[in-house]
Amino acid sequence: MTSVDQTPLADYTTRHRLDGRGFVVAGAGQGIGRQTAAALVQAGARVICCDIRADLAHEVAAEVDGIPWVGDATSRDDVQRLVEEGTAALGRIDGLVDIIGMAHYGDAVTVDDERLGWQFDIVLRHAILLTQHVGRVMAASGGGTMVFICSTSGLTATPQTAAYGAAKAGLISWIKTVADELGPAGVRVNGVAPGMVWTPRVSGLIGERGRALVDERTPLRRMAEPDDIASAVLFLSTDLSSFVTGQTLVVDGGITNSFPYPMAALAELAGIVEAKS
| pLDDT tens profile 78-130 | 999 999 999 999 999 999 999 999 998 999 999 999 999 999 999 999 999 99
- Tell me the pLDDT tens digit for each residue of 33-86: 999 999 999 999 999 999 999 999 999 999 999 999 999 999 999 999 999 999
State how many domains the chain has.
1
Domain assignment present for 7: no
In a domain, 6, yes or no: no
Q: Which residues lie closer than 8 Å to 235 by C-beta, 6 or more apart?
A: 16, 241, 249
The amino acid that residue 37 corresponds to is A
Residue 9 lies in a domain: no
Please give the pLDDT value at position 276. Answer: 54
d(CA 126, CA 74) in angstroms, rounded, equals 5
- Domain membership of residue 145 (yes or no) is yes
pLDDT tens per residue, range 153-196: 999 998 999 999 999 999 999 999 999 999 999 999 999 999 98
The CATH number of whichever domain residue 135 belongs to comes to 3.40.50.720
Q: Is the pLDDT of residue 262 over 90?
A: no
- Within a domain: residue 3? no
Model confidence pLDDT, tens digit, residues 212-248: 888 888 899 999 999 999 999 999 999 999 999 999 9
Q: Which residues are catalytic?
A: 164
Task: Give the pLDDT band of residue 135 (cuts 50, 70, 90).
Answer: very high
For 97-115, give one letter per residue: b (16+ CB within 10 A) or e. Answer: bbbbbebbeeeeeebeeee
Q: How far apart are CA 213 and CA 218, in angstroms?
A: 9
pLDDT of residue 166: 96
Domain of 199 in residue numbering reads as 18-269
Mean pLDDT taken over the chain: 93
> Is residue 28 a part of any domain in this protein?
yes
Residue 4 lies in a domain: no
In a domain, 142, yes or no: yes
